[in-house]
Structure 1
Amino acid sequence: MSTLIRPPPVNTSQSPIENLLELTHLHDIDPDLFTNRRPLWHPPGARGIYGGAAIAQTLSAAQKTVPKEFTVHSMHCYFVLAGNSDIPIIYHVERVRSGKSFVTRTVQARQRGRVIFTTTVSFVRQNSGGEKLVQHAVSKPDIPGPVEGMDDLDQGGAMERPFQSQRVEIYNDDSSEPHTKKCRQWIKARGTISPAGGHEAHLAALAYMSDSYFVGTIARVHKLTRFAPTRKSNAKSSIDEEVLKKLLAMDDKDLKRVGYLDQHDIDRIRKLKNGEQLPEEKEEDEKPEIGMMVSLDHAIYFHNPREFRADEWMFAEMETPWADDGRGLVFQKIFSKSGVLIATCVQEGLVRLKQPNESTPPPPTTTTKSKL
């Protein structure tokens, strides 16, 4: 059973992301205990539930324990164990501190008595900075806006995500230096977030979306792939057949907007469209492939927490300053469409390549380290 209590009917007055993230308050057991009201998504090929769900629901649980005049300004999270989508999650909030200007909460997400996710959330009283302020903010890059009806395809197509995303061409993609590249996308929650949800619903939605393609930035700037074609089996692709049909119907311009495809994949799709034979590839020509990629920790700094709507287009820009020893670090800036800096996020992830057989000497081109 994936929820502790039978899920209620979908609330049509709420957006899909509000329905998904809604919590049940277990106040009869403990005033600081909550659980997920609906099943959580397990992305195809992932070790557990989508990490953004744990981030968002721990934030939602913490928000329910602070006065309305306080707003989240930062949260620091650790992914401890993979979440099981078939088991309910229990969220326990600890009221660490309740001061005049700042409030601190820690939240543990548990399954079968084991902690799978933990976060510390800090809230600040609105307008507590005084009349005179130190102010500055980085500007949003000047890039083309989103195009309606051009959302990226979901790999695997298991379910419609509660938010929309559109990839933008990687900045400096031709560079040989991965740390100089920037991966970019437009994101927004589907539908309209209800007035009843308040600013808290927009913040939870932003937290949910902040994990979208985040650690995957490392794979993209190194031109690696998680969805590798099976190159030794008559050059057949491992991409889901229904997804492949959609890809074959797209032109080159639209294919480049699909985030999990690199130029090699696009060339193969083009040949399939033209009825050309796909050549067998030699082992030494094969690119390094991701063996494991999971998030380890996640931090969000909310800069203008009551001055944006998560159901309107937001621009996210990601870059990675470092990767080594099976880990990598990624920074993300999120702006409103009008250019207001909404949030800055940081994530470290486990990024391991598929290793050659012990009896086979490693090829000289498998390293993905940047020449810093």
Structure 2
Amino acid sequence: MNEALKEVLDLLDLEQIELDIYRGRSPAERIQRVFGGQVAAQALVAAGRTVPEGRQVHSLHAYFIRPGDPSVPIVYNVDRTRDGRSFTTRRITAIQHGKAIFTMSASFHIPEGGPGHQASVMPEVPPAESLPTYAERMRNAAGDDPGMREWLARPRPVDFRYATPLTWEAHADPQLRNASTRVWFRYDADLPDDPLLHIVLAAYASDFTLVDTVLLARGLAWGASRVTAASLDHAMWFHRPLRVDDWVLYAQEAPWSGAARGLARGEMFTASGELAVSVVQECLIREANG
């Protein structure tokens, strides 16, 4: 297990400071705002600690209200909205400087049997092991920039393998513009057999690439375009258990953008082709004039 993944797991080990009140921190990095996937994952951990044993999260709906300040802790207040016979509902508010920066509603369900179907088919893409790592793909973009090369050399908590163009590649070549992203991801370690941990880590990874899918459709790229982008809201539905220490295919589409916003949808498939998670996110997209 590399140091970056150890850091993420440590971030998810929230401190309980009172009944249904938890405190989380951010990585010690010089970043402008807290990563949205981190806040969503920590909020889900806080909710999960208040849920009766045996109930598994099946959906979450979240809003990013204010940018998170990475220099101070985040306090998570959990409201025990309802404990029913089959479902448990929680509402979580993340607070910094006395103001809400994020809210989430999460629902947990006792496992039940019954008939089912799956209409979505996993896209055909090359195997993950045959694709270069994200750092290898980004080396051309880094050029001779020592700061960029140092950043690419750092260990990462999640191993992403793209089967489709990156945003900077589509920015350089308009023929590569596409409203879809296909990316394998995996946490490169043997993780504990804790279903909530794997769901929480899937939520953490889910926020990395959705905004990029909207940028890809527009031919925009971080650093190469004068663009401001951020997550606005985020929803996930967990259909079946998955392990994120195995390869997961994250298939994403950007069906619309306009009015300074963009919509992205995603589906996570196990390596055997089972649909495990559905995701929808709206994001802020602003382009500077001139």
For 1:143, the equivalent position in structure 2 comes to 125
Unaligned 5+ residue runs, structure 1?
1-9, 229-288, 357-372
Out of 252, 256, 259, which is 1:322 matched to? 256
Report the TM-score when normalising by structure 2. 0.85
Q: Indicate the SS of the match to 1:140.
A: coil
Name the structure where helix makes up a greater proportion of residues.
2
CA deviation profile, 1:11-67 (whole Å, cap 9, x unmatched)? 99x9554223221122xxx2101111x5337685xx411110001010111111111
The share of aligned pairs that are identical, in percent, is 31
| Alpha-carbon distance in structure 2 between the residues aligned to 1:151 and 1:204 | 23
Counterpart residue identity of residue 98, structure 1: D
Matches within 5 A, 1:1-372: 17-26=8-17, 30-36=18-24, 38-40=25-27, 47-127=32-112, 130=113, 132-147=114-129, 150-153=132-135, 156=148, 157=151, 159-170=154-165, 181-195=179-193, 198-228=194-224, 289-304=225-240, 306=241, 308-356=242-290
- The answer on whether the counterparts of 2:165 and 2:176 sit within 8 Å (CA) in structure 1 is no
For 2:145, the equivalent position in structure 1 comes to none
Counterpart residue identity of residue 21, structure 2: L
* Deviation for aligned residue 1:354: 1.1
| Alpha-carbon distance in structure 1 between the residues aligned to 2:226 and 2:61 | 26
CA deviation profile, 1:124-152 (whole Å, cap 9, x unmatched)? 1111xx5x424234111121111279321
- The answer on whether the counterparts of 2:179 and 2:216 sit within 8 Å (CA) in structure 1 is no
- The answer on whether the counterparts of 1:77 and 1:119 sit within 8 Å (CA) in structure 2 is yes
User: Larger Rg: 1 or 2?
Assistant: 1
- The answer on whether the counterparts of 2:227 and 2:286 sit within 8 Å (CA) in structure 1 is yes
Gap change, CA 1:115 and 1:139, over 3 Å in 2: same
Aligned residues: 271
- The answer on whether the counterparts of 2:188 and 2:245 sit within 8 Å (CA) in structure 1 is yes
Gap change, CA 1:344 and 1:43, over 3 Å in 2: farther
* Deviation for aligned residue 1:194: 2.2
Unaligned 5+ residue runs, structure 2?
143-147
* Deviation for aligned residue 1:161: 2.6
| Alpha-carbon distance in structure 1 between the residues aligned to 2:155 and 2:2 | 17
Name the structure where strand makes up a greater proportion of residues.
2
- The answer on whether the counterparts of 2:2 and 2:155 sit within 8 Å (CA) in structure 1 is no
| Alpha-carbon distance in structure 1 between the residues aligned to 2:163 and 2:2 | 33
Gap change, CA 1:176 and 1:144, over 3 Å in 2: closer
Gap change, CA 1:210 and 1:227, over 3 Å in 2: same
| Alpha-carbon distance in structure 1 between the residues aligned to 2:132 and 2:176 | 30
Flag as ranges the 4+ runs of structure 1 deviating above 6 A: 173-178
| Alpha-carbon distance in structure 1 between the residues aligned to 2:279 and 2:29 | 23
Gap change, CA 1:319 and 1:161, over 3 Å in 2: same
Gap change, CA 1:126 and 1:325, over 3 Å in 2: same
Report the TM-score when normalising by structure 1. 0.67
- The answer on whether the counterparts of 2:267 and 2:278 sit within 8 Å (CA) in structure 1 is yes
